[in-house]
């Protein structure tokens, strides 16, 4: 629900969802999953942490897979909540109380404080194998048939928008962006992304619109017909 998309412990939420998925008899033979915005990296955590849950194709629509470094604009809907979250991130994104209670803080990636990010991020640094190489994460991710990454070319919610394709700012600054193939995640293959890419299982799609803005016909042609049928 809306409240849980802003407040709570994301690792606990991932475990709760994983438990429900594993208990669903209709899904025991495998299924496809679509993650919208932050839901995409949360579903990736399900894939990496739970080998008993068989996700075949993972579709990421505007997911922030390298995190974000930039506060989103707050629209009219949920404006007060958004502004409150932004204030807390400015106050101290890597403080334990913030990491444990504010969802967006758990994928805050400060390129000026890479070591603090790696050591104190409770979610995105973990699932990206930033601290230690979790071989289980790599093995489980490689089981995907397809990882489809959709980037919105005019996205004003995700900074940098290249995070939707596993790109990010170069360490030590917040302007110049590294594309996927230039990042340590790819070059050192910390997460198995390079192997997944070399096997043709990662697909990069782009939409000429703002965050999560796409037409029904685009979705049918480029997602359903291409990967889900």
Q: Which residues carry out catalysis?
A: 37, 155, 211
Half-sphere exposure (CA, 13 Å, Cβ side) for 7? 6
SS (H, E, C) 23-58: CCHHHCCCEEEEEECHHHHHHHHHHHHCCCCCEEEE
Residue 63's SS3 state is coil
CA angle 119, 41, 14 (to 5 degrees): 80
């Amino acid at each position: 629900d809306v409240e849980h998309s802003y407040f709570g412990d994301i690792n606990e939420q991932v475990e709760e969802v994983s438990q429900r998925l594993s208990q669903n008899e209709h899904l025991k033979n495998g299924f496809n999953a679509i993650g919208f915005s932050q839901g995409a990296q949360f579903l990736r955590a399900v894939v990496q942490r739970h080998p008993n849950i068989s996700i075949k194709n993972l579709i990421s629509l505007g997911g922030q897979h390298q995190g974000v470094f930039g506060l989103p604009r707050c629209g009219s809907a949920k404006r007060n909540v958004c502004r409150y979250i932004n204030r807390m991130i400015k106050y101290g994104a890597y403080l334990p109380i913030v990491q444990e209670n504010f969802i967006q803080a758990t994928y805050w990636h400060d390129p000026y404080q890479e070591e603090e990010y790696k050591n104190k991020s409770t979610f995105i640094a973990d699932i990206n194998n930033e601290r230690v190489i979790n071989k289980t994460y790599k093995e489980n991710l490689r089981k995907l048939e397809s990882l489809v990454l959709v980037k919105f070319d005019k996205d004003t919610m995700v900074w940098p928008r290249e995070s939707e394709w596993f790109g990010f700012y170069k360490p030590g600054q917040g302007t110049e962006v590294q594309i996927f193939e230039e990042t340590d995640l790819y070059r050192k293959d910390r997460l198995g992304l390079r192997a997944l890419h070399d096997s043709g299982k990662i697909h990069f799609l782009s939409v000429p619109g703002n965050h999560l803005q796409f037409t029904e016909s685009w979705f049918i042609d480029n997602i359903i017909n291409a990967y889900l049928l």
